[in-house]
Amino acid sequence: MARPTEPLSGLKTVRLTARGGVFLGAGFVGLIVAYAAGWPALLAVSLFLFGAVLAGVGAVVVSPAALVIERRIEPPVVEQRRPVQVRLTARGQAAGALEWSEDLPRSVVVTGHAEGVLPAVRPDRPSQLIDYSFAARTRGSVPIGPLRIARTDPLGLATTRRRVGGVDHVTVLPGIHPVELPFAVRRNDPDSGASTVFGAVGDQLDIVARGYRAGDPMRNMDWRATARRGELMVRTETAATTAATGLLLDVRQEVWPDSTAFEWAVDYAASLIAALDERHAPVRLAAGRTTMTDAIAGLVALATVHPSSGAAQPSELLRDLATVDVQVVHVITGPGGAPDVTRLPPLPTGALGIASVVARRAVQLDPPLGWQVVQRDSNAPVGTAHDA
């Protein structure tokens, strides 16, 4: 986004360089000595030093730089440690060369140079281009800019420093690792004999019975349906509607006494979303009070999520997350949320629940009806997480 520079306001942005400070100090001392000793030559030198400093200040104040900075960032959403390309375009009016440096947080590693010298910028010249790249080491919304410019007079006595342009942001996603998706369970209907397979990727298969055909393997015989109908019946699988997987990340501050465990949980949630999306399985995420129904929106939300006081309890969020079209609900909480896991409400008919407690020490819990509780060791790599 382009933003013009603002005019210099008086002398607020002017600073003396080390050389300018020496000139000013020497001129002041020389003036005192020349006045006390009656030394005209020293008086002339002192006045010259004062004049040089004043001239330097005037040189950087009289013709201020008037620049417009455009910053282009590709890609605006990136994984950790992946390179981000930045191109700065400078146009406008600036007499003489300008020293520049991009204002970047310490969490990024710059490839190339995010500082240098910008040649004189004039309207009759092409726009100046600056290119560099960086990689972010932590998730979050990383601020890029503004651009800091400094102009020094020809004698190097005074300089003016200011910020030019605005601040852009790059969304850095949590770490994404290959993980095992939530468990798969087969449920049988004792009345009809049919069963449903709940898969980790949202695939749902209905096992139904049909009449026996010559050549059908005997191992596929459905003896319960045969007894009920009085004729040979065979089990067969038919595709059913694809249901969604719901992920709930508990963001209550009191639940996460250890920030490392919370970051582990965020990476784990992001890895589950990425794995589900890779298999084109619908996924929902509740991290706070907002429920995202899109995988990309969920990953972007996880990039900036932090523990907060007053956040909703999992039981409240499950009302909107565990709907009839959700087959697997995965709750991820910290050691402080273990007591709440035992009070998780029942899920809709046919849905399955898994609660992950992320902690360094083992947590012994009695799982509520319809839920499975799994301990996640925050000291272990995220990619080693698996269900019991």
Of the candidates 46, 62, 78, which is a domain's last residue? Answer: 62
pLDDT over 70 (residue 182): no
C-alpha span between 133 and 108 (Å, rounded): 10
DSSP code at position 8: P
Do 351 and 333 share a structural domain?
yes
- 1: in domain: no
In the listed set 219, 239, 259, which residue is the last one of a domain according to the structure?
A: 239
Range of the domain at 288: 244-384
326 and 199 housed in the same domain: no
Helices first, then strands: H and E counts in the chain: 7, 23
Report pLDDT digits (tens) over 119-169: 878 777 777 888 999 999 999 999 999 999 888 888 888 888 888 888 999
Tell me the per-residue pLDDT of 325-359, one tens digit each, with 9 for 90 and over: 788 899 999 999 988 998 899 888 778 889 999 98
Residue 179 domain-assigned (yes or no):
no
* Claim to verify: residue 58 and residue 71 sit in the same structural domain: no
Domain count for the chain: 4
**b/e per residue 187-204 (b: at least 16 CB within 10 A):** eeeeeebbbbebbbbbbb
Shared domain for 369 and 252, answered yes or no, is: yes
CATH classification at residue 82: 2.60.40.10
Q: What is the pLDDT of residue 155?
A: 86
Which tens digit of pLDDT belongs to each residue from 24-45?
A: 999 999 989 988 888 889 989 9
Per-position b or e across 267-286, b if 16+ CB within 10 A of its CB? bbbbbbbbbbbeeebbbbbb
